[in-house]
A and B are shown apart, each in its own frame.
Chain A
Amino acid sequence: HSEISRTRRSCNNSIPLISSLEESNSLEEYTYISMQALRNIRGPITAALRGVREPVATVEAPRVFSAAANAPKPVKMMDFQVYRWNPDSEDKPSMKTYQVDVNACGPMFLDVLFKIKDEQDSSLTFRRSCREGICGSCSMNINGQNTLACLCKIDKDAPSAMIAPLPHMHVVKDLVVDMSNFYAQYKSIKPWLQTSADPKGKEHFQTKEDRALIDGLYECILCACCSTSCPSYWWNTDKYLGPAVLLQAYRWVIDSRDENTNERLAELDDPFKLYRCHTIMNCSKVCPKGLNPGKSVAKLKQKLLH
């Protein structure tokens, strides 16, 4: 009986049973529960005891914790200049300005883009998937810096903001760019484990220290923010691999389970694939996951010295 009364008490719309004094935590609670129970029991005696006529089913009033938090926010309009281009139209690419009430919108730039698409211009085209900074789909240039739109907070004190596609990439439509070259470069470094060891159904073992070598490298989501921020990559898109791909190349080079380290390093040993890096370091500044591609490129250069 005591078990049932305890669970009943914790449900939202339950009829609390009258519990014994020993079970309730205090005299107040006992009294409260009893009164609740009384309120829910139909009967002439209890109604007479209460002295008032109340409808049996009572609707719970919404709980207001603080008046300030629930006050409606004032309208705050902000200008968003968004790069637009439709390949099917004859118009040239242009920056279109949209006015959005940022107080009636989520905090990130992706929320603004959705709000514009839902309410103002449904032809606005952009890539998106996870909305939490893990898929890398929504990478674009916001206020001059490459980031993920789902992780970039709107600065409500600024009067306007600019959203553009990743720089120096061919635009497919509006904010969508052609990533096929980027993916082909990633494929070219053979981003898989190359080993002759046969683990016989178990894992390829490595020590904790060896596993720690990959920290800061495996988290790359291939959003291309870093590569598209590198001026060297802009001028040699076809031949220079770019910081993202070089970070992954380094990830496979220092993975202790991989046996083809020398071949991997030999692949990079030409004037363009690795050595177009001039330590501009835009890549590390811009990485939305906080990784350091510039450092990986330096490490690769060091490895190739020997």
Chain B
Amino acid sequence: MSTGARRLSGLQIQVLKLYREIIRAARDKDTEVKTTVLSYARAEFEKNLTIDRKNTLKIEHLLRRGAKQLQTLQSPDFVGVNFR
């Protein structure tokens, strides 16, 4: 694996943790909801791939936003994501 030995910064670990939690939360949903949620999450993360590593302000803002969306995702009343 090429990504095996690199040292990840604290922020990078947090970002990966968030992504993992989203996948875990989406696992228990219905198949079509699950696929939309996963594609939405992937699109959102990929949109922000180009942020500067040092731009902690923006990264933390996005992490907080993601954590809140994760909370909505984890609630039992969650129905789906509507996005283009």
A90 to B55, CA, bound (A): 9
Q: Are B58 and A178 in contact (CB under 8 A)?
A: no
| Chain B interface, number of residues (Cβ within 8 angstroms) | 7
- Looking across the interface, which residue of chain A has its beta carbon closest to that of B52? A90
A302 to B64, CA, bound (A): 38
In the assembled complex, A290 has its CB within 8 A of some CB on chain B: no
Q: Are A180 and B68 in contact (CB under 8 A)?
A: yes
**In the complex, per-residue mask of A162-192: 1 if CB is within 8 Å of any chain B CB, else 0:** 0000000010000000101000000000000
Closest CB-CB distance, A261 to chain B, in whole Å? 31
Measured between beta carbons, the chain B residues less than 8 angstroms from A144 are none
Q: When A and B form their complex, what is the total count of cross-chain residue pairs whose Cβ atoms lie within 8 Å?
A: 11
Closest CB-CB distance, A7 to chain B, in whole Å? 58
Measured between beta carbons, the chain A residues less than 8 angstroms from B64 are 170, 178
- Looking across the interface, which residue of chain B has its beta carbon closest to that of A184? B71
A92 to B61, CA, bound (A): 12
Measured between beta carbons, the chain A residues less than 8 angstroms from B62 are 87
Q: Tell me the A90-116 residues at the B interface (CB within 8 Å).
A: 90, 92-93
A178 to B68, CA, bound (A): 10
Q: Are B57 and A170 in contact (CB under 8 A)?
A: no
Closest CB-CB distance, A205 to chain B, in whole Å? 36
A165 to B62, CA, bound (A): 19
Measured between beta carbons, the chain A residues less than 8 angstroms from B57 are 92-93
Closest CB-CB distance, B74 to chain A, in whole Å? 14
Q: Which interface residue of B61, B62, B64, B68 has the most chain A CB atoms within 10 A? A: B61
Which bucket holds chain A's interface residue count? under 10
- Looking across the interface, which residue of chain B has its beta carbon closest to that of A171? B61
A209 to B68, CA, bound (A): 43
A175 to B3, CA, bound (A): 41
- Looking across the interface, which residue of chain B has its beta carbon closest to that of A178? B64
Pick from B55, B58, B61: contact of A170, CB under 8 Å: B61
**In the complex, per-residue mask of B53-69: 1 if CB is within 8 Å of any chain A CB, else 0:** 00101100110100010
A265 to B81, CA, bound (A): 41
Measured between beta carbons, the chain B residues less than 8 angstroms from A93 are 57
Closest CB-CB distance, B51 to chain A, in whole Å? 9
Q: Tell me the B23-70 residues at the A interface (CB within 8 Å).
A: 55, 57-58, 61-62, 64, 68
- Looking across the interface, which residue of chain B has its beta carbon closest to that of A88? B58
- Looking across the interface, which residue of chain A has its beta carbon closest to that of B61? A87
Closest CB-CB distance, B43 to chain A, in whole Å? 15
Closest CB-CB distance, A287 to chain B, in whole Å? 28
Closest CB-CB distance, B55 to chain A, in whole Å? 8
A93 to B68, CA, bound (A): 22
A93 to B62, CA, bound (A): 15
Measured between beta carbons, the chain A residues less than 8 angstroms from B61 are 87, 170
Measured between beta carbons, the chain A residues less than 8 angstroms from B68 are 180
- Looking across the interface, which residue of chain A has its beta carbon closest to that of B60? A170
A224 to B56, CA, bound (A): 26
Closest 3 CB pairs of A and B: A87-B61, A170-B64, A180-B68
